[in-house]
Amino acid sequence: MPEQNWSGSSGWGLLVIVGYPLLTLILSEWSRREAAVGKTGFLRLLGVLQTLLLPILAIWLVLTKLAGFPKDSLLAKSADTAIGIAVLYTLFVLVQGVVALLAARTKAPRLLYDIALSILVSIGGAVILSHVWGLDLSHLLSAVGVGSVVIGLALQGVMGGMVSGLLLLSARQFTIGDFLNVGPGKAGLVRQIDWRSVTLQVSKTERLVLPSASLAAASFCITDPTKSAELSVTVTIGYEHSPETVCAMLLNVARSVPQLVAPDEVRCMIAEFEAGGIQYTVYIPVLHPGKFAVAQGEFLSRLWYAAQRHGISIGNLPVYEQTEEERFALLTAAGAFQHSPSLLAELAKIGRIERWRSEEKVLAVGETPNAVLVMLRGSIKVYAQFYSEQIELEHLGAGQVFAIREGFRGMPSPVLAVVDEETELLAFPIPAMQLLFNSDPGFASDMEIILETRAKALQKLSTDDGKIA
């Protein structure tokens, strides 16, 4: 029977009888108040203190202080081991709570915290085994050290990749959603990051996995996903065209690119004077660098058509031109105007051939029309914007005429005309057409019918308390 020291046991007994219930009550009330105000960060720690550490501490006091079991007895060592594990687990939960609070403020990845916690548990376990049970761990540590060296040499590549990955994660130079450009063919949105590799979404159906080791040793460009990326396109235009005219055309083309995200930020600058002409650089903001190739293709394609319409040569490319006789033949073949050859000849003098690619806007809502258009080939869809709804009015094809009354009155257009497929047409300036109307009343009457028909179609969409926007 273990000997008891009744003079010292009264204090320990009072601590167990009074202190344990009191501390349990305090921790319970503390937990309730923390939960009531929504502070859940350390609720788990308070629960561990109340339901694990305090009960085991009370049992340890009873066995070692009140019952007086010898320190080297199995029961006392078991109690010491239990209290050591309880203290270690409580520290583990405390560190986890601190890590959760610091995770949003620090750049270290969660994996490093997990490694630190594992080391803490290992050291604690070693202390318990050595101090309580008297085990000599020096031989075990030596064996572990030798084994670590052997494993490190055998898995040198794997360990190097893991360390590189950890360093890359620790720096947090980029995150999921950023656009990463490592080199040609190695660019895309970051979709996954771990200690072994980084996964990039390079296309809708293709993903690229980059080893962390190679990425840690490489140079790469990071684009913030919250800001637009600026595509720069350089073109050379001949000296015979004024920079003001060229820049206006380039800006209009750039603002029509579907991938554009900020029309007001489009810029055009003269970059250099060369032997073959003036070099212009156009800056087009797009969503991210992954859109560069598509946006550049759209810009260059639309630029070719716009340059042809403006009679501007790009580099050494010739401007698409036709003679007055060829325009007369095309106008006659179209059959849009059934009038005398002399009138058609006058029209051929003032007309110009224009080519438009699909999805281009021939006329935008709010833009003042400046020409009467005769379709030679292709098709154009005409829409009216009625409140929030876009309604298709007509689908123009070869041989049809597009003109609205607002063009002759200098008023903004209420309709939108969009090219449905590649289109070639004859455009006749409205001032020149008005002069022909004065000299040929029959021609003016026919045009009036076209204008009135389209005006009535627009009028049908209006209501008593509304109008076409």
Rg from Cα positions in the chain? 41
Name which of 167, 161, 188, 190 is nearest 290 in CA terms. 188
Output the pLDDT for position 426.
93
Output the pLDDT for position 469.
45
Mark residue 315 as left, alpha or beta (left: phi above 0; alpha: psi -120 to 50; beta: remaining).
left
Residue ranges of the chain whose pLDDT lies below 70: 1-9, 38-41, 99-117, 129, 134-172, 185, 195, 216-217, 225, 320, 462-469
219 & 262 share domain: no
129 & 181 share domain: no
The pTM of the full predicted model, rounded to 2 decimals, is: 0.61
Residues belonging to the chain: 469
434 & 355 share domain: yes
Domains held by the chain: number: 4
332 & 453 share domain: yes
Question: What CATH number does residue 200 fall under?
Answer: 2.30.30.60
Q: Is residue 121 part of a domain?
A: yes
Structure tokens at 182: 């490592």
Coil, strand or helix: which one is 231?
strand
> Chain centroid to CA 376: how far?
42
CA diameter of the chain? 134
What angle is formed at CA 202 by the lines to CA 198 and CA 208, rounded to 5 degrees? 40
Residue 276 backbone dihedrals phi, psi, to 5 degrees: -90, -5
Domain boundary among 78, 107, 135: 135
373 & 330 share domain: yes
Output the pLDDT for position 430.
94
216 & 242 share domain: no
C-alpha span between 108 and 303 (Å, rounded) = 49
Output the pLDDT for position 357.
94
Q: Is residue 420 part of a domain?
A: yes
Structure tokens at 453: 């028909």
233 & 273 share domain: yes
Q: Is residue 146 part of a domain?
A: no
Count of CA atoms in the C-beta half-sphere (13 A) of 302: 23
129 & 190 share domain: no
C-alpha span between 184 and 168 (Å, rounded) = 21
Q: Is residue 141 part of a domain?
A: no
Output the pLDDT for position 187.
75
Q: Give the strand order in the sheet containing 221-223.
A: 207-211, 197-201, 186-193, 179-183, 221-223
45 & 126 share domain: yes
Coil, strand or helix: which one is 362?
strand
Residue 434: how many other CB atoms lie within 10 Å: 12
Residue 235: how many other CB atoms lie within 10 Å: 21
347 & 298 share domain: no
Q: Residue 418's domain spans which residues?
A: 324-459
Q: How many helices (H) and strands (E) does the chain have?
A: 16, 14
Q: Is residue 429 part of a domain?
A: yes
C-alpha span between 177 and 227 (Å, rounded) = 12
Output the pLDDT for position 170.
61
Name the burial class of residue 11, with classes exposed (0-12), middle (13-18) and buried (19+) by CB atoms within 10 angstroms of its CB. Answer: exposed
Output the pLDDT for position 57.
85
C-alpha span between 449 and 402 (Å, rounded) = 12
Q: Is residue 145 part of a domain?
A: no
Question: What CATH number does residue 401 fall under?
Answer: 2.60.120.10
Q: Is residue 159 part of a domain?
A: no
303 & 333 share domain: no
Question: What CATH number does residue 291 fall under?
Answer: 3.30.70.100
282 & 400 share domain: no
Find the helix or strand (DSSP H, E) in which 403 lies: none
Domain boundary among 135, 153, 187: 135
Tens-digit pLDDT profile for residues 97-122 = 776 666 555 545 555 566 666 777 77
Tens-digit pLDDT profile for residues 429-460 = 999 999 998 888 888 998 999 999 888 888 87
Domain boundary among 258, 286, 310: 310
Name the one residue in this structure whose structure tokens are 């806007």.
361
Q: Is residue 157 part of a domain?
A: no
